[in-house]
Structures are given as C-alpha cells and as structure tokens.
Amino acid sequence: MPRVIAVANQKGGVGKTTTAVNLAASLAEAGERVLLVDCDPQGNATSSVGVRLKPNEASVYHFLMQDGTPPPVHRPLTPALEIDLLPSNATLAAAEWEFFTRPQPELLLQQRLAPLIENYSFVLLDAPPSLGFLTVNCLSAARSVLIPLQCEYFAMEGLSMLLETIRKIRLRFNPHLAIEGIVLTMFDRRNNLAHQVANEINSHLQFKVFKTFIPRNVRLSESPSYGLPAILYDQNCAGTKAYLALAQEILAQGAS
C-alpha cells in the first residue's frame, strides 16, 4: 500500500516545502517511486523542481475541480530522479471558494488521488501554511502527517491548533490518519536556544520526533532558485545529507 504523507504546518517559514521537495528527492534516490503533490497556491514545490506553469496550464486545480480531467503529471527531474509532480500555481487559490459547491468537499483530493496513488510507493502532499480547505483535503487524503517544526523560540506556536485539526479530521473524515512524526528544521548546533527547543520538544511531545535534525544550510536555501532539490544541486552539502538520513528513518519506520 502506498504511504500517503501530508507535510503540514499552518505556521509559515518552517521549512515545509523544503522538506516535501527534498524528502521526495531523497526517497527517490533510495529507489522509491514518488509522487509529489503541490497543494499550495504559492506553487513553491512546483518551482523548486524546475516547473513553471503558464497561467492557464493544467494544474492541481483542474485535477480537483474539473471532473474527468486527466492528472497533469510532470516528470521534471528524470532520468536523475524518479519523481512525478502534480503542479500548482495561483489558480488553486480559487478552489478554496469552489469547494463549497461540491458534495463532501473535504474528501475531494482523496477521491481524485485514489486511482492514481497505486502507481507509487510514496505520495507526499505539500499542504499550504493555513488550516483552510486545502489543508483539510490534504489531511483527509493522507495516511499520516509529517510536521516540520522550526528550532526557534516560537516553535510550538500553533502546533496545538494543528494537532486539534488532526483530531477533528480523524473523527469526521479520516480515522486512519496518524502522525508520522515531527522533524526539527533550521537547526543551528552553535545556538544554545536551538538545543533547548529540541530538548523541550523531545521531552513534552508524546509522539515521534525524528532523530535527524535539518540544519540551517545555505546550499539548501539556494537550490530552489535553480529548480533543483538539494541532492541534485550539491549532493555533499549538510542539507542533502540530513534529508537522506530523514528518508532512511521514514523507510525504517515503515518497515518496523
């Protein structure tokens, strides 16, 4: 069964899209067949793998809202990495309003993805930084949630809201939704506060915090501007190595 993972945190600037893109690349490097679904109208995951959609070009919006529309799958990184992409752009913002015209609008993404996901071992959903209908659709379609959490003072800000949303999704739409775990991002080993935040999160949260910390890394920040995940931009940088390690943790977690 494919592992459908929503990468979600309604707080912006925590490395959510960076995690979705680079985890997808790292899983593909490990030999997994990966589908990356950009569910954010900002389209940052789309541009991070080198796809630039024209305003009216088929996107996740058309896949969701137009019955019978074939999935607009792109394969931008082949043959280097076997990642398929369902791309997004600003057109998707209109879907937040149009969802209300559909029966069971919270399950639309789940229904559209159902015939597609059996072709993959991993499906990663890059959710927008909000708790609107697009994020609800991601959580309803996923089997688990990966939560990137920044190693800074306000790291826990908003986390309780996300956990409450996950609880409600379980009750109403997706009883099988699990928490894949928390991945700590933007970690600076030279910063005492980062260590304090990491220790507090590990001691207070009752679900998995991954051993791999994602560091602050210039090459990791630069790679999206070249339309490449870090592994294709600089395979030896600290960010690449961290995401490869995270992928191995996730693979081991699924095998246990």
Rounded mean pLDDT, 65-69: 82
Range of the domain at 113: 3-255
- pLDDT at site 6: 98
Give the pLDDT confidence score for residue 256 in this predicted structure: 54
CA-only gyration radius of the chain, Å = 17
Of 56 and 241, more confident: 241
List, for residues 186-229, the tens digit of each pLDDT value: 887 777 777 777 777 777 666 688 999 999 999 999 999 999 99
In tens, the pLDDT along 10-43 reads 888 899 999 999 999 999 999 999 999 999 999 9
What pLDDT score does 206 carry?
Answer: 63
Percent of the chain predicted with pLDDT > 90 = 70
pLDDT given for residue 234 in this prediction: 97
Residue 92, domain CATH? 3.40.50.300
Lowest mean pLDDT segment, chosen from 92-101, 228-237, 242-251: 92-101
Contacts of 92 (CB under 8 A, 6+ apart): 39, 40, 41, 43, 59, 60, 61, 64, 134
Convert the pLDDT of each residue in 145-192 to its tens digit: 999 998 776 767 778 888 899 999 999 999 999 999 999 998 877 777
Could you tell me the two tokens for 195? Answer: 């260590």
SS (H, E, C) 177-239: CEEEEEEEECECCCCHHHHHHHHHHHHHCCCCECCCCCECCHHHHHHHHHCCCHHHHCCCCHH
Domain count, the chain: 1
The pTM for the full model equals: 0.94
